[in-house]
Amino acid sequence: MKKLYYLLLAICCTLFVSCKDDAWGNGDPAMENIYYVGFEDWGQFKNDVTFEVKQGETVGIPVQFWCEFIRPYDVVTYYYVSGNLVRGADYEVVDAEGNVLSPDAGGAFSLTWEQAKKGVQNVYIKALNGNTGSFYVQTFDPDSDVELTNQDVSTTVNHATADYEVRVFTQNYRVTVNVVN
């Protein structure tokens, strides 16, 4: 009977003890305006997600933005396309209506997250009846000198302004697009 009493006492005590917040929700003001962007499908955390698009067709690639607050500003994130196929000859980056998008001077395409609201937007790739093959869509600049095997996400910045910083995950920064017949 005594053992049962102690067991019930232990259970009751655990019900009244609050859990410590984890590092993501610890109220640290330095982290308040730091957000994350990555592909919706994590592919077993190995950057091994593949999308297939047939010649003349368009594929949507879901990109997820993580933020737990609504802000008075919009957040801009970037994505890049790299590989052996040629944009404009083999494929195009387009919007939801099929309009061709152009990268900025650094080769980046942008997604805007109004009021920093978390959610998912698609990146659209249209195959142009050119060559078949593969290329990458990634949230990290392929020309960056940051080592992506480093697990310190403070070094994997996608975009930073005076108001916010957006980081990418090293295990979720790239997907492969295969253009097939």
- Reported pTM: 0.81
Q: How confident is the model at residue 138 (pLDDT cuts 50, 70, 90)?
A: very high
The two structure tokens encoding residue 92: 């195009």
pLDDT at position 15 is: 38
pLDDT at 99 over 70: yes
Other CB atoms within 10 Å distance of the CB of residue 48: 13
pLDDT cut 90: percent of the chain above it: 65
pLDDT at 29 over 90: no
Strand order in the sheet with 133-138: 50-54, 174-180, 133-138, 75-83, 109-113
Measured between alpha carbons, how far is residue 14 from residues 2, 8, 119, 144 in Å? 19, 10, 35, 48
Mean pLDDT of the chain: 85
Nearest to 168 by CA among 176, 59, 150: 150
Q: How confident is the model at residue 169 (pLDDT cuts 50, 70, 90)?
A: confident
pLDDT at 147 over 90: no
Report the alpha-carbon distance of residue 149 to residue 5 in Å, rounded.
52
Contact between 127 and 56 (Cβ < 8 Å): yes
pLDDT at position 156 is: 87
